[in-house]
Amino acid sequence: MSLASGKSSKLFPIFFLIFSPSVFAIEQLEVIDSYGNWTLNTLGYPPIVFMGQNDTESYTVRYILPPNASQGPGDWYLVNLNFLIEFSKNSTNGYAYVSALTNNRSSALIKFTVKKNNDSLLINWSERNLLGVSRYSTTSSVINVSFTNYLQYQGVIPGVNTLTFKLEQHGDIKVKRLEISPTTGIELTPLSPPELKLDVKLPRDSISNGDSFIINFTLKNFGDQPPEDVLVRAVYPKEALELVGDASYYAPHLENKLEGQFEFKALKKGDHQIVIMTETISGIKRPSARILVPVGDKKGFSPLLLPIAVAILALLTYFFRKNR
């Protein structure tokens, strides 16, 4: 999800008055007004280091968004959270959270579960963003994390915004240090989250028992980010229909669209429901389509055809004899 950094326009520094109990200070805040990754470095902040002295520690930086700033539909804001965390080898059992919140709305919550395993530590951690969840495990006490996620809607407001980093420790563990990398920051991008829409074309002709028919589908991604591990498959009554073609269609990354067709043979008369389903590991809406397929009696020799054929034959014989 990362974009090439580098801003297309100049920085416009704005001077902002901050009141503190002891002094008045002038803080220079940067305006995030062009696409790219606005790191702590470019926002004018040094690396942030937590020493894990307290159960909860936090640090807040500030930046400015333009008057029309909002989360989507044109522009999207992401958090890029890169950090190193080191656990004390004296830790036993417990868990820690590293989170990032913009305007007190969280878009990063990394959970570390620590267990003492003989003399070493076993650390499991999970990272969940809008698109899914990733899980990791290590026996190393030092872990590097690189995480990206779309901010919450209420995490984006015009004017002065806050970005807060937070360390929470629970149980009998000790974080020796947490270093928020200077590459951490807010990314402004035109790339929207993936959005899937499914279009299904039904068979035109009426279907009789024994007929084959085709259902065509098109799955389009209307978002800019590609959903991952996308699968389209058909669910149908196996006693009534036989799937004679491909059973599923797969795209590891769905950039634009996935097209295909499911070919069935009708085995039984009646109204049969087919569901075309979408699956993806990305945490987005997965469209599906329900189709009711009426299957009629098997086409065969109609009992009416015999007298009609006899009548035509009789007429032809009559005219043939008359004209001879």
Partner 1 sequence: MHVREPLFVTAILLTTIVAPAMAATTQNLNILGIREDYFYNYDFLSRTASSTNVDWPVTMLFYNNADVNKVKNIFDGGIPGGYMYLKLNDGAGWVWDRDTGTGTKHVSSVYDDRWLHMRIYADSDDRMYNLNWGYYVLGTTHYDEAWSESWSGYSEDAEEEYADEASSSGYTVYEDWSYWYNPEPYRNESNHIWSNNGYTTAVNVP
Neighbouring-strand partners of residue 248? 233
Pick the closer one to partner 1 by CB: 9 or 288: 288
Contact (CB, 8 A) for 113 and 95: yes
- Residues 56-75 binding partner 1 (CB under 8 A) are 71
Find residue 169's DSSP bridge partners: 96
Min dist. Cβ of residue 284 to partner 1 (A): 5
Kindly indicate which of the ranges 26-34, 84-92, 144-152, 241-249 contains the residues binding partner 1, using the contact rule CB under 8 A. 144-152
Q: How far is the CB of 57 from partner 1 (least distance, A)?
A: 14
Give the number of residues in contact with partner 1, rule: CB under 8 A.
36
Q: Does an H or E element contain 78, and which? A: strand 76-87
Amino acid type, 283? G
At 201, give phi and psi (nearest 5°). -105, 130
* Closer CB to partner 1, 183 or 282, in the complex: 282
Q: Cα(155)–Cα(161) distance, rounded to whole angstroms? A: 8
170 binds partner 1 (CB under 8 A): yes
Which of these ranges, 7-15, 24-32, 242-250, 281-289, lies near partner 1 under the rule CB under 8 A?
281-289
Name the 3-class secondary structure at 84: strand
Alpha carbon distance 167, 239 (integer Å): 57
Nearer to partner 1, 42 or 91 (CB): 91
Among 154, 206, 273, 317, binds partner 1 (CB under 8 A): 154
For β-strands 76-87 and 142-150, DSSP reports them as antiparallel
Of the residues 51, 202, 244, 281, which one makes contact with partner 1 according to CB under 8 A: 281
Q: Give least dist CB 299 to partner 1, A.
A: 39
Tokens representing 314? 């009789």
Tokens of 39: 């790191």
Residues of this chain, 89-128, that bind partner 1 according to CB under 8 A: 95, 97, 99, 101, 104-107, 109, 111, 126, 128
Instruction: For residue 96, count CB atoms less than 10 angstroms from its CB and return exposed for 0-12, middle for 13-18, buried for 19 or more.
Output: buried
Contact positions vs partner 1 (CB under 8 A): 71, 95, 97, 99, 101, 104-107, 109, 111, 126, 128-130, 132-133, 135, 149-155, 166, 168, 170, 279-286
